[in-house]
Structure 1
Amino acid sequence: MGFLLSKSMDANLKKQQEFMLHNSRLQMERQMEMQNQMRERQMAMQVAWSREFLKYFGTFFLVASTGLTLGAMKRKTPAMLAPIFPLSFILAYQMDNAYGTLIHRMRGEAESIMASERERLGLPHGTPTFDSVEKARRAKSSLASILDK
């Protein structure tokens, strides 16, 4: 009788372990999907910000270039055209960032760094561990309780 009960409990335990493993895998997949969707939304916001900034900077560049060109022609001083040169580099960068391949080149460079220069990617004091986070949490908790008194 005890053997049958033990065998039944072992089977239930095994089923429970498989169920827990399946649930933890499902939870991990959901977390990874959520993090990926958040990353995609943040990247979309960055591209949208670049495009919006380009509209304003492009307008500024157009007005400034026109004003500097007319001023240089009126005063007959070509030196007034000098600010157009650095401003054009900023405009080209913003155009590349908003509509060009800058993101693709940056991704390629990041992949290269991850493959060949791994030592540059370390965090100060290493990766946080459960113990380090718990120690900091306890320190904050004890400090808050001292301040509340």
Structure 2
Amino acid sequence: MGNNFTINMEENFKKNQEFITEMNTIKIERQLQMENIMRERKIALEIAKSRELFFWYGAFYLTSVTWAVTSYRYKRNPLFLLPIVPLSFIIAYQADLSYGNKLHRVIMEAEHILQFESDLLSLPLGVPTASSIDLKRFENDEQKKLHPVLPPI
């Protein structure tokens, strides 16, 4: 009787371990999926912002070019056309970012960095460990004990 009870407890323990492992796996997968969805939404928001900014830059560019060409026609001074050059670069950059393939080029460059220049990504003093985090928490607690925050008057 006692032997069967022990065997049943071991089987239940193994089943519980498998269940917990499966639940943790599902939890991690859901968390990764949620983080990916949030990342995609943030990127979509940034693209939408850059497109909105492009409309404003475009309106400013067209107004400036119209003013520059009109001023050049009346005054015949080529200095009035000079702002068109830098403004053209700005509007071309924003158009490429908003509607071109600049985002794809940025992603490709990021992948290149991850694959071939990963040494650039290392953190100062390395990746924090659980013990280093606990040590910092202990130091902060000690600081609070030595220098308590005074209540507001």
Provide the TM-score with structure 2 as the length reference: 0.89
Question: 1:28-39, aligned counterparts within 5 Å?
Answer: 28-39=28-39
The aligned residue for residue 58 of structure 2 is 58
Partner letter of residue 96 of structure 1?
D
Partner letter of residue 57 of structure 2?
F
The aligned residue for residue 148 of structure 1 is 149
Question: 1:74-89, aligned counterparts within 5 Å?
Answer: 74-89=74-89
Q: Does 2:2 align with 1:2?
A: yes
Q: Does 2:125 align with 1:125?
A: yes
Consecutive unaligned residues of structure 2, counting only runs of 5 or more, are none
The aligned residue for residue 22 of structure 2 is 22
Counterpart Cα distance in 1 of 2:138 and 2:37: 33
Partner letter of residue 35 of structure 1?
E
- Give a deviation string over 1:118-137, Cα, whole Å, max 9, x none: 11111222222222333333
* Percent identity of paired positions between Structure 1 and Structure 2: 38
Partner letter of residue 50 of structure 1?
S
Structure 1 position 142, deviation (Å) = 4.1
Structure 1 73/47 Cα, relative in aligned 2: closer, same or farther at 3 Å?
same
Q: Which moved more, 1:13-22 or 1:71-80?
A: 71-80
- Give a deviation string over 1:76-108, Cα, whole Å, max 9, x none: 111221111111011011001111111111111
The aligned residue for residue 112 of structure 2 is 112
Partner letter of residue 30 of structure 2?
R
Provide the TM-score with structure 1 as the length reference: 0.91
Counterpart Cα distance in 2 of 1:110 and 1:120: 11
- Give a deviation string over 1:25-64, Cα, whole Å, max 9, x none: 0110011011101100110111011011111111111111
Counterpart Cα distance in 2 of 1:39 and 1:51: 18
Structure 1 13/42 Cα, relative in aligned 2: closer, same or farther at 3 Å?
same
Count how many residue pairs are aligned between Structure 1 and Structure 2.
149
SS at match of 1:13: helix
Partner letter of residue 149 of structure 2?
D
Partner letter of residue 35 of structure 2?
Q
Partner letter of residue 148 of structure 1?
V
Counterpart Cα distance in 2 of 1:113 and 1:97: 20
The aligned residue for residue 135 of structure 1 is 135
Counterpart Cα distance in 2 of 1:34 and 1:142: 37
